Amino acid sequence: MLLLDQWAERHILDAQRKGEFDSLPGEGAPLVLDDDSFIPTELRAAGRLLKNAGCLPPELQQRKDAIELNELLRSINQGHPDYPAVRKKLTLLELKLQQAGVNTDFLHGDYADRLLQKIEKE
């Protein structure tokens, strides 16, 4: 066991003996762990750290940005002075996503409705 692991284990056992974990929310309930089995073992700690810090893989960050830009476009009218710049930025982002192999149907409104109809037919 690594020195850091031994140190952490000692502190956890001390806290248990002192009762610091008693009456915590969720006590006795099973832990809900993320499935990180697709991440190589040596990268799991780094992946967890990045996830907890709010960092996303580039494609997911671009997808998130595209959704935000799309919502912005829907909230302003076409006569707004920023509309062309926002529209251009969204179009470029959509092209980047498509080049990365990400489906961009989620930007075109009725995707959820079409998906529900397809599921109901099956």
C-alpha 60/C-alpha 63 separation (Å) is 5
Q: Kindly report, residue by residue over 72-95, the tens digit of the pLDDT.
A: 988 888 889 999 999 999 999 999
The proportion of the chain whose per-residue pLDDT surpasses 90, expressed as a percent, equals: 24
At 48-64, the pLDDT tens digits run: 888 889 888 888 888 88
DSSP character for 43?
A: G
The answer to whether the CB of 56 falls within 8 A of the CB of 64 is yes
CA distance 104 to 95: 9
CA distance 12 to 110: 51
Reference 90, options 72, 76, 78, 102; nearest CA is 72
